[in-house]
Amino acid sequence: MIKHNESSIPGMVHFPMQQHFWRTLSNFIADLSSASVIAVDRLERIIVFNKHAEHTFARQARKVLGQPFRQAFPSLAEHEYYPLIALHQGRELNEVETYYCPYTNKRGVFIHSTALIKDNLGSKIGAIWLRKDLTCKRRFQQEMSNAAVGAMVSQLAAGAAHEIRNPLTTAKGYLQLAQQQAPDEVAKYLKIALEEIEQIDVIITQLLSLYHPKAEGLQFVSINSMISELVYLAKNSGNLLNITIDLALDKNIPLCLIDEKLIKHALLNTLRNAIEAMPKGGTLSISTQYFAASEEICITLKDTGIGISEKNLKQIFKPFFTTKKSSGLGLTLTNRIIQHHGGRIEVQSTMGQGTIIRLYLPVFPP
Ligand SMILES: Nc1ncnc2c1ncn2[C@@H]1O[C@H](COP(=O)(O)OP(=O)(O)OP(=O)(O)O)[C@@H](O)[C@H]1O
Ligand SMILES: [Mg+2]
Q: Express as a percent the part of the chain with pLDDT over 70.
A: 85
- Dihedrals phi, psi of 332, to nearest 5 degrees: -60, -45
Which three-class secondary structure state does DSSP give residue 204? helix
DSSP type of residue 363: S
DSSP count for the chain of H helices, then E strands: 11, 12
- Whole-number pLDDT of residue 7: 43
Mean pLDDT along residues 230-241: 80
Mean pLDDT along residues 213-229: 81
Protein residue closest via CA to atom 19 of ligand 1: 328
39 close to 46: Cβ distance less than 8 angstroms: yes
Q: Can you give the C-alpha Rg of the chain in angstroms? A: 29
Under the banding of pLDDT at 50, 70 and 90, the label for residue 77 is very high
Under the banding of pLDDT at 50, 70 and 90, the label for residue 185 is confident
Question: Whole-number mean pLDDT of the chain?
Answer: 85
Mean pLDDT along residues 183-187: 87
Mutation to probe ligand 1, out of 275, 324, 325, 353 (largest number of atoms < 8 A from CB): 324
Mean pLDDT along residues 31-37: 80
Under the banding of pLDDT at 50, 70 and 90, the label for residue 280 is very high
Query: Which of the pair, 213 or 229, is modelled with greater confidence?
Result: 229
Q: Where are the domains of the chain?
A: 16-133, 138-212, 216-366
Mean pLDDT along residues 161-172: 79
| pLDDT greater than 60 at residue 215 | no
| pLDDT greater than 60 at residue 10 | no
Give the CB-side neighbour count of residue 90, counting CA atoms within 13 A: 4
37 close to 128: Cβ distance less than 8 angstroms: yes
Dist. CA 330 → ligand 1 center (Å): 7
CATH H superfamily, domain 216-366? Histidine kinase-like ATPase, C-terminal domain (3.30.565.10)
308, burial (CB in 10 Å: exposed 0-12, middle 13-18, buried 19+): buried
| pLDDT greater than 80 at residue 40 | yes
pLDDT single digits (tens) 247-279: 999 998 999 888 888 898 899 899 999 999 999
Q: Express as a percent the part of the chain with pLDDT over 90.
A: 46
Phi-psi region of 201 (alpha: psi -120 to 50; beta: other; left: phi over 0): alpha
Dist. CA 220 → ligand 1 center (Å): 29
DSSP labels, 26-80: HHHHHHH-SSEEEEEETTSBEEEE-HHHHHHHT--HHHHTTSBHHHHS-S--GGG
Dist. CA 269 → ligand 2 center (Å): 5
217 close to 263: Cβ distance less than 8 angstroms: no
Please state, in angstroms and rounded to a whole number, the distance separating the CA atoms of residues 260 and 94: 52
Torsion of CA 349, 350, 354, 357, to 10 degrees: -10
CATH 3.40.50.300 corresponds to the domain 16-133: no
- Whole-number pLDDT of residue 249: 95
DSSP type of residue 328: S
Please state, in angstroms and rounded to a whole number, the distance separating the CA atoms of residues 216 and 207: 18
Mutation to probe ligand 1, out of 321, 331, 334 (largest number of atoms < 8 A from CB): 331
pLDDT single digits (tens) 120-153: 888 999 999 999 998 877 777 776 666 666 666 6
Please state, in angstroms and rounded to a whole number, the distance separating the CA atoms of residues 114 and 332: 40
Mean pLDDT along residues 300-325: 93
Using CB distances shorter than 6 Å, the residues near ligand 1 are 269, 273-274, 277, 303, 305-308, 312, 316, 321-324, 326-332, 355
Which three-class secondary structure state does DSSP give residue 127? strand
Beta bridge partner(s), residue 303: 284, 355
Under the banding of pLDDT at 50, 70 and 90, the label for residue 5 is very low
Nearest to 133 by CA among 77, 79, 48, 53: 53
Please state, in angstroms and rounded to a whole number, the distance separating the CA atoms of residues 298 and 345: 9
Q: In the CATH hierarchy, which top-level class contains the domain 138-212?
A: mainly alpha
pLDDT single digits (tens) 97-125: 999 999 999 888 899 999 999 988 889 99
Ligand nearest to the CA of 202: 1
Which three-class secondary structure state does DSSP give residue 278? coil
- Whole-number pLDDT of residue 145: 65
